[in-house]
Amino acid sequence: MVIKMEQGAGNPEITKICSFLSGYIKTFYHEDDPEKQLYGAINPGKDWTLINVIGYIPDKQHLNEQLSFFEGIEEVIIVSKYSLVNKEYTQGRPVKVGRDFPDGRVEVSLNGNEFAIIAGPCAVENESQIKAVAKFISGLGLKLMRGGAYKPRTYPSSFQGLRDKGIRLFRKVADKYRLLIVSEMTEVAQRDLFSQCVDLVQIGTRNMQNYELLKAAGQTGKPVLLKRGMMADIDEFLGAAEYILQEQARCGHEQQVILCLRGIRTFDNALMRNTPDLATIAALKQKKTGLPVIFDPSHSTGDRNLVVTASKQAAVGEANGVLVEIHPEPQKALVDGPQSLDFEQFLKLLQILNPLCELEKRVLT
Ligand code: PEP
Ligand code: MN
């Protein structure tokens, strides 16, 4: 439910409505559990303020009637699927990934004129591998590095990642090179570790509909990179983003979600690991949401020879960045070697992306 305030409505009216909302469930349903109370997330827009009602509403008609007793409301919009992801609510709001290092803050802001390059290995394998990549990408002036420590693998016989040891190792190396890190969270129990060590919490394709995990990611207080489920439609994808945004709002954290398209599973896998959902970047932005959208050319194609082309398509196709797998020696990678670029190939990718981004008046970051 979204409450659209009248143009002249000010703080007193908004505060009254929000405090009514926070006591509504207790008053009418005699339910004390703080988790079950409603919460009004305020979006002060240019022309009017929106209040998004967060939480389960047992009877929307009843709440709507109650709201008619308040002043300053222009319209109550009953939304059935999602509201915080919607264009009206997210438009223009930047998503900031940042960290304070002893010698100052490093920050990347998506949604403006920046095109984010997030590069790194599929998996954190050992210290020398992570150091080599960190040194290389920080030497290029890039700020964001990827690397999985908890790896959700199709087969239990495959390398499962270095787990919490891997996260701590990744943080230690990233601190040395002043890098921001992205890593995948796979369990609710990892919440505090990720909150401490990781700068952008990734939710992988297999976990896009793990709703308890989505809420835990929202509780970390870190921005979240949400990958599209390989078999999820767009409503399901945005519903998952809404879970995270609502939890962030409820916890008093900034609402910070980056969407990541990474290819979907279709009937056709003769040429590529997945079917790259490239035109979806622009369609999402034009029709649905103002959240930043990045593209993963590595998992969507599964082929290093297609990574450059898919990245170019993403850059001219309205993406806010790319998430690219690179490895010092792809032939020795424990995971996803065939889709990883080596350093030389990655440099070529940057050379190709640079003029494209300039053309679109954006800077690589
Ligand atoms: C990854 O980026 O490390 C990953 C496992 O990707 P996905 O969840 O898209 O398969
Ligand atoms: Mn991978």
pLDDT at 348 over 80: yes
Residue 306 banded pLDDT, cuts 50, 70, 90: very high
Please give the distance, rounded to the nearest whole angstrom, from the Cα atom of residue 18 to the centre of ligand 1.
Answer: 39
pLDDT at 5 over 90: yes
Please give the distance, rounded to the nearest whole angstrom, from the Cα atom of residue 308 to the centre of ligand 2.
Answer: 16
* Cα separations in angstroms, 112 against 87, 108, 356, 364: 15, 10, 16, 11
Is 90 in a helix, a strand, or coil? helix
Atom of ligand 1 nearest to the CA of 204: 8
Query: How far is CA 81 from its chain centroid?
Result: 19
Percent of the chain with pLDDT over 90: 90
Closest C-alpha to ligand 1, atom 6: 204
Of all ligands present, the nearest one to the C-alpha of 273 is 1
pLDDT at 91 over 80: no
**pLDDT confidence of residue 69:** 96
> Does 5 contact ligand 1 (Cβ within 6 A)?
no
Of all ligands present, the nearest one to the C-alpha of 326 is 2
Question: Looking at the whole model, is its pTM more than 0.85?
Answer: yes
Mean pLDDT across the stretch 3-17? Answer: 93
Name the CA dihedral angle for 341, 344, 349, 352, rounded to a multiple of 10 degrees. -160
pLDDT at 8 over 90: no
**pLDDT confidence of residue 152:** 97
> Does 148 contact ligand 1 (Cβ within 6 A)?
yes
Residue 52 banded pLDDT, cuts 50, 70, 90: very high
Per the DSSP assignment, residues forming a β-bridge with 275 are 264
| DSSP strands (E only) in the chain | 2-5, 39-44, 49-54, 73-77, 95-101, 104-110, 114-120, 144-146, 180-184, 200-203, 224-227, 257-261, 293-295, 321-325, 363-364
**pLDDT confidence of residue 87:** 87
**3-state DSSP helix/strand/coil % of the chain, to nearest 5:** 40, 20, 35
Six-digit token pair at 72?
Answer: 């300053």
**pLDDT confidence of residue 360:** 82
**How far is residue 221's CA from residue 96's CA, in Å, rounded to a whole number?**
12
**pLDDT confidence of residue 88:** 82
Six-digit token pair at 105?
Answer: 């803050």
Mean pLDDT across the stretch 94-98? Answer: 96
Residue 239 banded pLDDT, cuts 50, 70, 90: very high
Mean pLDDT of the chain: 95
> Does 166 contact ligand 1 (Cβ within 6 A)?
no
Mean pLDDT across the stretch 293-315? Answer: 98
Q: In this predicted model, which residue has the larger pLDDT, 38 or 87?
A: 38
Q: In this predicted model, which residue has the larger pLDDT, 81 or 99?
A: 99
* Cα separations in angstroms, 27 against 24, 39, 67, 197: 5, 14, 14, 40
DSSP state of 329: S
- List, for residues 212-223, the tens digit of each pLDDT value: 999 999 999 999
pLDDT at 46 over 80: no
**How far is residue 226's CA from residue 241's CA, in Å, rounded to a whole number?**
7
Give the range among 84-98, 131-145, 297-311 with minimum mean pLDDT. Answer: 84-98
Mean pLDDT across the stretch 95-121? Answer: 96
**How far is residue 311's CA from residue 214's CA, in Å, rounded to a whole number?**
27
**pLDDT confidence of residue 353:** 96
pLDDT at 300 over 90: yes
pLDDT at 68 over 90: yes
Burial letters 288-318, b for 16+ CB under 10 A, else e: bbbbbbbbbbbbbbbbbebbbebbbbbbebb
**How far is residue 123's CA from residue 125's CA, in Å, rounded to a whole number?**
6
Residue 150 banded pLDDT, cuts 50, 70, 90: very high
Atom of ligand 1 nearest to the CA of 206: 8
pLDDT at 304 over 90: yes
**pLDDT confidence of residue 90:** 81
> Does 125 contact ligand 1 (Cβ within 6 A)?
no
> Does 263 contact ligand 1 (Cβ within 6 A)?
no
What is the radius of gyration, based on Cα positions, of the chain? Answer: 21
Task: Give the CA count within 13 Å in the CB-facing half-sphere of 175.
Answer: 12
Percent of the chain with pLDDT over 70: 100
For residues 191 and 168, the answer to whether their CB atoms sit within 8 Å is no
**pLDDT confidence of residue 218:** 98
- List, for residues 173-231, the tens digit of each pLDDT value: 999 999 999 999 999 999 999 999 999 999 999 999 999 999 999 999 999 999 999 99
pLDDT at 333 over 80: yes
β-sheet with 73-77: strand ranges across: 39-44, 49-54, 2-5, 73-77
